[in-house]
Amino acid sequence: MDENEVSRMKAYMVFDIGGTYIKYAVMDQEGKKLESGKFPTPCEGLESFLQKLSQVTKEYSNSFELQGVALSSPGAVNVKTGFIGGASAIPYIHGVCMTDLIRERTGFPVSIENDANCAALAEGWLGAAKGTEYYICIVIGTGIGGSIVINQSILRGTSLHGGEFGYMIMGAQSKNPLDQTWSKTASTHALVEEVAKRKSLEKGMLNGEDVFLLADKGDTIAKESIAEFYKRLAIGIYNLKYALDPQKILIGGGISKRQEVMDGINRELKRLRDDISTLRIEVQACQFENDANLIGALFHFLKGAGRFNE
Whether the per-residue pLDDT at 8 is higher than 90: the answer is no
pTM of the model: 0.89
Dist. CA 47–CA 32, nearest whole Å: 30
DSSP secondary-structure letter at 201?
P
What pLDDT sits at residue 38? 96
CA distance 21 to 43: 11
- Return all residues near 94 (Cβ < 8 A) that are at least 6 apart: 75, 84, 85, 86, 87, 88
Average pLDDT over residues 28-49: 96
User: How much is the pLDDT for 308?
Assistant: 66
pLDDT digits (tens, 9 = 90+) for 141-172: 889 999 999 999 999 999 888 999 999 999 87
pLDDT band at 307 (very low <50, low <70, confident <90, very high): confident
Task: Please give the Cα distance from 212 to 210 (Å, whole number).
Answer: 6
Structure confidence by residue, pLDDT tens digits, 180-219? 999 999 999 999 999 999 999 998 899 999 999 999 999 9
The tens digit of pLDDT for each residue in 81-99 reads 999 998 888 999 999 999 9
CA distance 16 to 81: 19
**What distance in Å separates the CA atoms of residue 212 and residue 21, rounded to the nearest whole number?**
27
Counting Cβ atoms within 10 Å, is residue 163 exposed (0-12), middle (13-18) or buried (19+)? buried
Please give the pLDDT value at position 104: 97
Say if residues 41 and 21 touch (Cβ distance below 8 Å): yes
What pLDDT, on a 0 to 100 scale, did the predictor assign at position 2?
52
Residue 13 has pLDDT above 70, yes or no: yes
In angstroms, the CA 223 to CA 233 distance is 15
Cα–Cα distances (Å) from 13 to 32, 49, 104, 254, 286, in that order, read: 12, 16, 15, 26, 24
Averaged pLDDT for residues 42-59: 97
Interatomic CA distance for residues 117 and 113, integer angstroms: 7
Report strand pairing: 284-285 vs 248-252: parallel
Quickly list DSSP for 203-247. Answer: TTS--HHHHHHHHHTT-HHHHHHHHHHHHHHHHHHHHHHHHH--S
Burial 91-117 (b: 16+ CB within 10 A, else e): ebbbeeebbebbbebbebbbbbbbbbb
CA distance 35 to 169: 44
Q: What DSSP element (H or E) covers 48?
A: helix 46-61
Distances from the Cα of 57 to the Cαs of 132, 147, 179, 240, 301, in angstroms?
34, 29, 44, 41, 16
Share of the chain above pLDDT 90, in %: 85
pLDDT, residue 6, reads 45
Are the CB atoms for 16 and 115 separated by under 8 Å? yes
The more confidently predicted of residues 254 and 193 is 193
Q: What is the mean pLDDT of residues 39-59?
A: 97
Q: How far apart are CA 45 and CA 41, in angstroms?
A: 10
On average, the pLDDT of the chain sits at 93
Task: Please tell me the number of Cα atoms within 13 Å of 216 on its side-chain side.
Answer: 9
Q: Which domains does the chain have, with CATH numbers?
A: 3-115+290-305 (3.30.420.40), 128-285 (3.30.420.40)
Query: CA nearest 261: which of 289, 283, 236?
Result: 283
Query: Is residue 230's pLDDT more than 80?
Result: yes
